[in-house]
């Protein structure tokens, strides 16, 4: 039977709310909607791990009249794509990443969906197959199922700053290299500069609580100690995210410096640390449990008109979520994106362009600034960026073009 198969390839180490998972699922949904509206033949979707990739390619070879749309993301996806040789003509390889990875030019990809800040500058022949998007593919922020209307009405509206931490951002095209030149690391004075802004600007007056929310990459890497004078500096993975928070024995340096800066500059505010960690399965075949209060704090922002949200500029997924969410745009005077030296020039330019359109305010703590600088939101009327619709539009345009005489 002739069918269209749309298959997204994941890693079993991901969480279902993680950036890569949402990216893949959103592209898969766009393809599914497009082909279900367009085709009179069955459309089947699936989520698989790369271990079955060879089997799927063999299945495609045995069913030459069916179409196979295979969607990949991140280094995990690139590694799987590199195993492919002599693809049958009915297989289309689709990349949906946050950025290009090392050796991307050699990947047999038919269609690339990339945020505009990650497009290659060179006049590559690959560019004709690249679709620039206004941000990382994401459905935006939504209330969790546990955040009920009853909770929303009864929750006290304390003035809270929700500070999403970043850290250890990998450069474009860096692959899985552990060379220090492949990574952008936050400077030691980062947290202090951010909190200085909070202490000096009236919008943050009377803050009762600061919630520090770390992520899988907050302090996930540290510089490897070496006694050799001329050795190449490398990073090594930390184990902060393998166990619960302990203020004495298991708190990563970025979170610790944020805690110290708040205690110093905002001594009246209570501090809540949202520690991200992975709990090993209790049974051999069990799944890893991911502990995070990220969604809980997003719920707090979506429900509390007194809450302020600080987003790291180098977290392109977080920035993409707030420009895609109507509530964040309606409360853009309470959203601040932090510009740091961790950001690449292309990401910084992208964030500054979004700021100029009125999507959020910024806190600039780059070393080029003598003093940390807060820029309030522009008086503008931005519309939510529906990045899913951009993918759909690309597919619809391609279908229209192919039907022309």
Has residue 382 been placed in a domain? no
Q: Are residues 115 and 175 in the same domain?
A: no
Q: Are residues 164 and 222 in the same domain?
A: yes
Q: Are residues 158 and 287 in the same domain?
A: yes
Q: Are residues 181 and 290 in the same domain?
A: yes
Has residue 54 been placed in a domain? yes
- Summarised one tens digit per residue, pLDDT across range 311-349 is 999 888 899 999 999 999 999 999 999 999 888 888 999
Has residue 144 been placed in a domain? no
Count of structural domains, the chain: 2
Task: Assess contact for 313 and 364: CB atoms under 8 A.
Answer: no
Q: Are residues 129 and 213 in the same domain?
A: no
Q: Are residues 347 and 287 in the same domain?
A: yes
Q: Are residues 178 and 280 in the same domain?
A: yes
* 67 — pLDDT class (breaks 50, 70, 90): very high
Q: Are residues 292 and 358 in the same domain?
A: yes
Has residue 380 been placed in a domain? no
Has residue 302 been placed in a domain? yes
- Summarised one tens digit per residue, pLDDT across range 170-205 is 776 666 678 887 777 788 889 999 999 999 999 999
**Alpha carbon 218 to chain centroid, angstroms:** 13
Q: Are residues 88 and 211 in the same domain?
A: no
Q: Which residues of 22-59 are buried (b: 16+ CB within 10 A; e: fewer)?
A: bbbbbbbbbbbebbeeeeeeebebeeeebeebeebbee
- Summarised one tens digit per residue, pLDDT across range 364-394 is 999 887 788 999 999 999 999 887 788 888 8
Has residue 141 been placed in a domain? no
Residues 356, 225: Cα–Cα separation, whole Å: 42
Residue 284 confidence (pLDDT): 75
Q: Are residues 182 and 78 in the same domain?
A: no
Residue with tokens 């002599």: 86
Residue 405 confidence (pLDDT): 38
Q: Are residues 166 and 114 in the same domain?
A: no
Average pLDDT, the chain: 86
pTM of the model: 0.86
Q: Residue 62: give its domain's CATH number.
A: 3.40.50
Residue 391 confidence (pLDDT): 84
Q: Are residues 231 and 352 in the same domain?
A: yes
Domain ranges, residue 230: 149-375
């Amino acid at each position: 039977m002739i069918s269209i198969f749309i298959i997204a390839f994941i890693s079993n180490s991901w969480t279902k709310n993680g950036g890569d998972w949402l990216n893949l699922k959103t592209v898969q949904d766009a393809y599914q909607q497009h082909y279900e509206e367009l085709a009179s033949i069955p459309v089947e979707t699936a989520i698989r791990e790369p271990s079955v990739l060879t089997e799927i390619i063999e299945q495609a070879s045995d069913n030459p009249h069916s179409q196979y749309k295979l969607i990949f993301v991140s280094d995990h996806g690139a590694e799987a794509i590199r195993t492919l040789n002599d693809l049958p003509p009915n297989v289309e390889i689709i990349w949906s990443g946050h950025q290009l990875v090392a050796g991307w030019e050699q990947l047999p990809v038919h269609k690339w969906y990339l945020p505009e800040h990650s497009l290659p500058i060179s006049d590559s022949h690959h560019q004709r197959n690249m679709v620039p998007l206004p941000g990382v593919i994401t459905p935006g922020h939504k209330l969790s199922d546990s955040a009920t209307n009853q909770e929303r009405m009864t929750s006290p509206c304390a003035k809270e700053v929700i500070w999403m931490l970043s850290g250890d951002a990998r450069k474009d095209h860096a692959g899985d290299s552990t060379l220090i030149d492949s990574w952008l690391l936050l400077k030691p004075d980062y947290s202090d500069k951010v909190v200085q802004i909070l202490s000096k600007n009236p919008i943050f007056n009377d803050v009762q609580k600061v919630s520090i929310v770390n992520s899988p990459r907050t302090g996930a890497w540290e510089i490897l100690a070496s006694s050799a004078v001329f050795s190449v500096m490398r990073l090594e993975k930390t184990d902060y995210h393998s166990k619960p928070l302990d203020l004495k024995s298991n708190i990563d340096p970025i979170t610790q410096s944020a805690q110290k800066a708040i205690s110093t500059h905002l001594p009246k505010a209570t501090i809540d640390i949202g520690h991200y960690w992975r709990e090993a399965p209790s049974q051999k075949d069990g799944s890893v449990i991911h502990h995070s209060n990220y969604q809980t704090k997003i719920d707090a922002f979506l429900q509390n008109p007194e809450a302020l949200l600080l987003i790291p500029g180098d977290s392109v997924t977080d920035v993409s979520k707030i420009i895609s969410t109507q509530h964040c745009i309606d409360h853009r005077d309470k959203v601040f994106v932090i510009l740091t030296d961790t950001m690449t020039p292309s990401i910084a330019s992208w964030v500054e362009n979004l700021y100029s359109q009125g999507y959020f305010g910024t806190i600039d703590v780059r070393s080029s600034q003598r003093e940390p600088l807060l820029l309030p939101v522009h008086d503008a009327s931005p519309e939510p960026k529906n990045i899913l619709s951009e993918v759909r539009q690309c597919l619809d345009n391609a279908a229209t073009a192919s039907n022309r005489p």
